[in-house]
């Protein structure tokens, strides 16, 4: 590299700059026009008043942020956090042993098991949610099963439990894959050494396996948490009208209430929570 720059210094460096321009400018221009400008416009509306029929009136105000800390809206944010956290924890509890078993399978079965985990993820998202409406509703399979044991019928659809089930169903593969990648890389000799030195299975897991697979745990958790937290389709379809999450609130501000500034403020809150999590994740990952 260095000798070649010496051989034709002027020519190459000008070519480099032209090359950088040719390759980078179309994509970056697209990102600026269709992402950065829209985001800037969106977030700038948070400090303005709402227009009567959507849009924005350019008078400064803090009322959007005051409304955000209103217990009503703060409650929705806290509820969304709670639901997304619960989903992530359950996904971790089921996903970890699943990924662990897959990583220990013989090669041929490993591939099949992995493809089988990802397969449902490649089907239409709404179809997957629809399947759960069918299973959880009054005459659905869940209540039919309960009836066999002389139980029910239970009101399972349109509860927070139904939302968590739907989110878990949609995003479980995103938990298993990074966990699998982390566990698969683990050297089995480390666990052998640990148990040879007298550590119990649980101690080996806690002191060896878990710390070494922590990056996978963090990535998987983030992959499940992020789409769960901002989701509005699953809460709407499985949670009914009683329970709403921050995604529904944002959607309604834009399509029903026509209050862009407040909708944008809610979106800002969503982004802030996610950025805090990303920063925390990279901080923990660096320490681990």
Residues numbered 152 to 191 that lie near other proteins (CB under 8 A) are: 168-169, 172-173, 176
Which pair of tokens denotes residue 181?
């990648």
9 binds other proteins (CB under 8 A): no
How far does the chain reach from its first CA to its final CA, in angstroms? 36
- Is 135 a binder of other proteins (CB under 8 A)? yes
Q: Are 95 and 176 in contact (CB under 8 A)?
A: yes
240: left (phi over 0), alpha (psi -120 to 50) or beta: left
Distance of CA 93 to the CA centre of its chain: 17
Whichever of 218 and 237 has its CB closer to other proteins, that residue is 237
219 neighbors 174 (Cβ within 8 angstroms): no
> At 162, which helix (H) or strand (E)?
helix 160-185
The single residue among 247, 259, 262, 265 that binds other proteins, judged by CB under 8 A, is 247
How many angstroms separate the CA atoms of 50 and 56, rounded? 5
Q: Is 280 in the site for other proteins (CB under 8 A)?
A: no
31 counts as binding other proteins under rule CB under 8 A: yes
Least distance in angstroms from the C-beta of 63 to other proteins: 19
Shortest Å distance, C-beta 28 to other proteins: 7
- C-alpha 139/C-alpha 154 separation (Å) is 10
Give least dist CB 59 to other proteins, A.
Answer: 17
**One of 230, 235, 262, 265 touching other proteins (CB under 8 A):** 230
Region of 59-67, 72-80, 122-130, 211-219 interacting with other proteins (CB under 8 A):
122-130
Q: How many CA atoms lie within 13 A of 227 on its CB side?
A: 17
Interaction of residue 218 with other proteins, rule CB under 8 A: no
Query: What residues between 61 and 90 interact with other proteins by CB under 8 A?
Result: none
Closest distance to other proteins from the beta carbon of 169 (Å) = 7
Smallest distance from other proteins to CB 34, Å: 5
Nearest to other proteins of 78, 105 (CB atom) = 105
To the nearest whole angstrom, how small is the minimum distance from the Cβ of residue 72 to other proteins?
20
Angle, helices 107-118 vs 71-104, to 10°: value is 160
Q: Which is nearer to other proteins, 20 or 193 (CB)?
A: 20
Sort strands 56-60 and 48-50 into parallel, antiparallel or unpaired.
antiparallel
Instruction: Based on DSSP, count helices (H) and strands (E) in the chain, helices before strands.
Output: 16, 2
Closest separation in Å from C-beta 82 to other proteins? 18
- Residues 250-279, interacting with other proteins (CB under 8 A): 250-251, 254-255, 260, 263-264, 267, 270-271, 274
For tokens 């681990």, name the residue.
Answer: 288
Q: For tokens 């659809």, name the residue.
A: 157
When asked if residue 132 is in the footprint of other proteins (CB under 8 A), the reply is yes
Choice from 5, 36, 210, 284 touching other proteins (CB under 8 A)? 36
């Amino acid at each position: 590299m260095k000798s070649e720059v010496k051989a034709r210094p002027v020519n190459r460096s000008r070519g480099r700059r032209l090359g950088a321009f040719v390759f980078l400018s179309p994509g970056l221009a697209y990102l600026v026009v269709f992402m950065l400008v829209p985001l800037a416009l969106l977030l700038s509306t948070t400090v303005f008043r709402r227009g009567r029929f959507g849009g924005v009136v350019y008078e400064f105000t803090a009322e959007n942020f005051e409304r955000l800390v209103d217990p009503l809206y703060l409650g929705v944010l806290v509820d969304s956090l709670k639901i997304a956290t619960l989903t992530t924890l359950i996904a971790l509890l089921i996903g970890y042993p699943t990924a662990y078993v897959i990583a220990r399978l013989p090669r041929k079965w490993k591939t099949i098991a992995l493809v089988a985990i990802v397969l449902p993820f490649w089907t239409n998202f709404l179809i997957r949610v629809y399947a759960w409406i069918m299973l959880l509703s009054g005459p659905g399979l869940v209540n039919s099963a309960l009836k066999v044991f002389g139980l029910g019928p239970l009101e399972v659809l349109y509860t927070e439990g139904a939302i968590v089930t739907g989110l878990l169903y949609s995003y479980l593969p995103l938990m298993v894959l990074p966990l699998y990648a982390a566990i698969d890389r683990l050297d089995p000799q480390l666990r052998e050494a640990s148990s040879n030195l007298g550590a119990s299975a649980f101690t080996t897991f806690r002191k060896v396996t878990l710390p070494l697979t922590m990056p996978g745990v963090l990535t998987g958790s983030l992959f499940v948490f992020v789409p769960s937290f901002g989701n509005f389709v699953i809460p709407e379809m499985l949670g009914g009208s009683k329970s709403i999450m921050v995604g529904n609130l944002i959607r309604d501000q834009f399509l029903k209430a026509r209050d862009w500034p407040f909708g944008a403020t809610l979106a800002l809150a969503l982004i802030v929570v996610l950025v805090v999590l990303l920063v925390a994740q990279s901080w923990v990952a660096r320490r681990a």
